[in-house]
Amino acid sequence: MESHRQIEQAAAAWLVRRDREEWNNSDQAELHAWLSASTAHRVAFIRLQTAWEQVGRLKGRAAGLARNGALLSGDRAGTLLPAKPEAPISRHKNLDAGVLAKNARRHRIRVPRMLGASVAAVCLAAAVVVGWNAWPHQGTSYRTAIGGIAAISMKDGSTVTLNTNSGIRVALNEIERRVDLERGEAFFEVAKDPDRPFVVRVGDQRVIAVGTKFSIRREPNHVRVIVTEGRVRVEHSEPHEPAEAALISAGGVAVAGAAGVLVQDKSLSDAEEGLSWRQGIVVFRETLLSDAVAEFNRYNTRQIYIEDPALGAMRIGGHFRTHNAEGFVRLLADALPIRVEDNESRIVLHHL
């Protein structure tokens, strides 16, 4: 029986192994098997991974110091700063074994300890690489109201079209074009820029593109991505298994949730039906009435309410104007056994 210490060692070994360049799909499968073998494995793995990810935050601190050379605020004992360890003498430089031995004794790796030091400031070596983890929480926000639609032009030439009741935050810099889809749905026409990936963050997921056209819709339990041109990659932002990423090309409709990504391959025209909202139209195909009504309610402040669940289970099809809820309801009453109660605050559908 494995002890928890042994499990912890194994988890650490897996984490470092995953960092190797040669990590491939069969390694991935092995890791998945090990994680699935026991919850104790998974829990140990999460614990170590979480801590290791936190260590990455030190990057930001180091970068901040290197940039302006100023002091970071420290504690009473002095300044708690990571000091860059001195580079060791490379063992390969000197072929003379005798000299090598002498050097090894004299030039042991010395890494100064900072804790408790009363030194006021330490300068980090200029060679410290700036960490891009220290992402400033900024960018421009855009929101649409219920029933609204807006097109936003970005500085890189990309366009984002926001659907009803949606919100995004946009931030561009030298290495990345970043958008956070905070709410609702948006269509992206991404200008080609191979040096700067276009990354959309939606909750737990990330959608990454180079030069494509795609839409993302944010739902309570999942994210829906439709690609109409080019290719996007959809991945979980904190994957405990790297193979969770999915590559979707034109015609693909993907649903990404906590469990993974499910991709449907459709014809381009079928996929584009999911984008008809840009023309103010919504398309239903054998859609449950309850779903169709929920969809309409996204676009209108006066909501439609189905009183009888049996009614909601009926299926409908057709093209409808998103802003014409009354028209939609009248068509329904013609085709189905429905009595419409038209109130000031909402529309109620009763079963006849």
Residue ranges that bind other proteins, judged by CB under 8 A: 3-5, 7-9, 12-13, 15-17, 19-21, 38-40, 42-44, 46-52, 54-59, 61-62, 75, 80-82, 84-85, 87-88, 90-92, 109-111, 113-115, 127-129, 131, 202-204, 218-223, 236, 238, 240, 257-258
Q: Minimal distance in Å, beta carbon 201 to other proteins?
A: 12
Q: Minimal distance in Å, beta carbon 347 to other proteins?
A: 29
d(CA 166, CA 185): 6
281-288 and 346-351 strand pairing: unpaired
| 22 vs 344 by CB, closer to other proteins | 22
Q: Minimal distance in Å, beta carbon 5 to other proteins?
A: 7
| 17 vs 319 by CB, closer to other proteins | 17
Q: Which of 68, 15, 66, 64 lies closest to 44 in space, CA to CA?
A: 15
| 153 vs 237 by CB, closer to other proteins | 237
CA distances 349 to 113, 234, 283, 290, 333, Å, are: 73, 39, 20, 11, 9
Q: Minimal distance in Å, beta carbon 68 to other proteins?
A: 17
| 181 vs 271 by CB, closer to other proteins | 181
Q: Minimal distance in Å, beta carbon 59 to other proteins?
A: 5
For residue 349, the tally of other CB atoms under 10 A from its CB is 22
Q: Minimal distance in Å, beta carbon 312 to other proteins?
A: 24
Q: Minimal distance in Å, beta carbon 206 to other proteins?
A: 13
For residue 339, the tally of other CB atoms under 10 A from its CB is 11
| 115 vs 120 by CB, closer to other proteins | 115
Is 232 in contact with 207 (CB distance < 8 Å)?
yes
| 5 vs 155 by CB, closer to other proteins | 5
| 205 vs 322 by CB, closer to other proteins | 205
| 140 vs 237 by CB, closer to other proteins | 237
d(CA 66, CA 126): 6
Is 156 in contact with 193 (CB distance < 8 Å)?
yes
Q: Minimal distance in Å, beta carbon 18 to other proteins?
A: 10
